[in-house]
Structure formats: C-alpha cells, structure tokens
Amino acid sequence: MTSSVVYNGDLRTTCTHLKSGNSFETDAPTDNNGKGERFSPTDLLATSLATCMITVMGIKARTMGFDLNDVKIDVLKIMKADPRRVGGIELTFHIPDVLKDIDEKTKTILKNTGNTCPVWFSIHPDIEVKVDWGVWN
C-alpha cells in the first residue's frame, strides 16, 4: 500500500504516507461546503502535476550535472460544473537567474522531460493543461 486516508469529520481527512509516516490534512474548498483551510482533493490533483514535472526535470538535470534548486511553479486549478470537476490546470514556471541562460538544447530536454512525467500522462484529456515556461518560453 502507498497511503492511508482517514476521514476526520467536518469535511477533512488526514493522509499518511505509509513508508515514511509523513502526513497532511485536506479540507473541502469554500465553494463546496468546506473551510478551504487546507489543500482540497482537486488542489492536490493540480499540484501533483507540478511536483511530478519538477521532480523528473530535477532527475534529468542531476544527470546533466546541475540542479534546479529554487525553480518555483505557480499552480492554478480551474473548476468546471456539470459534473463538478477539474477542467483546467495552468502552471507558471519561475526560473531563478542562475538558470535563465542555459542553452536551448538543455531547455528543450528539460521541458520535454517535464511534459512526459507520469502525472501528465495520467490526466484525463478533457482537462486542459497550459504551461508557461517563463523565461524559457
């Protein structure tokens, strides 16, 4: 097993990673009867894409002899109704100055790596994903 989820009441859960014991809580969003004080399940879906992309990109960068420390990705989740679901994910990369001037070949390799991460391939094709690579556009 990977994780355990316990419903705590009041539309909140505690999620525990079984191997490490690390945990976090979720909350329903304010537009769906919750308090919006923690990640919602759909927030996690959108955020998972960003974390997966930067993780595999970090692996690739490491094999190329450098790291991607301090790369930041802003995540925007767009909800749709009927049925209520995630309809879009927009990611905006913020590249630190030390990485702004890497060569085009390396940028292409890293972007292709991010765009082929396991979460990307797990997202339903009806979810529109937009990536703004910032200075790497």
CATH of the domain at 116: 3.30.300.20
The b/e string for 73-83 (b: 16+ C-beta within 10 A; e otherwise) is beeebeeeeee
Q: How many domains does the chain have?
A: 2
Work out the mean pLDDT of the chain and round it to a whole number: 97
Q: Are residues 52 and 22 in the same domain?
A: no
Instruction: List, for residues 29-47, the tens digit of each pLDDT value.
Output: 999 999 999 999 999 999 9
Point out which residues pair with 14 in neighbouring strands: 6, 25
d(CA 74, CA 92): 5
Count of Cβ atoms closer than 10 Å to residue 64 Cβ: 12
Q: Are residues 21 and 63 in the same domain?
A: no
Q: Are residues 99 and 127 in the same domain?
A: yes
Q: Are residues 88 and 111 in the same domain?
A: yes
Q: Are residues 68 and 125 in the same domain?
A: yes
Instruction: List, for residues 42-91, the tens digit of each pLDDT value.
Output: 999 999 999 999 999 999 999 999 999 999 999 999 999 999 999 999 99
Structural domain containing residue 23: 3-32
Torsion 1-45-14-51 (CA) sign: positive
Q: Are residues 25 and 88 in the same domain?
A: no
Q: What percent of the chain has pLDDT over 70?
A: 100
Q: Are residues 25 and 47 in the same domain?
A: no
Q: Are residues 130 and 110 in the same domain?
A: yes
Residue 39 has a pLDDT of: 97
Q: Are residues 83 and 53 in the same domain?
A: yes
Torsion 56-57-58-59 (CA) sign: positive
Q: Are residues 23 and 46 in the same domain?
A: no
Residue 127 has a pLDDT of: 98
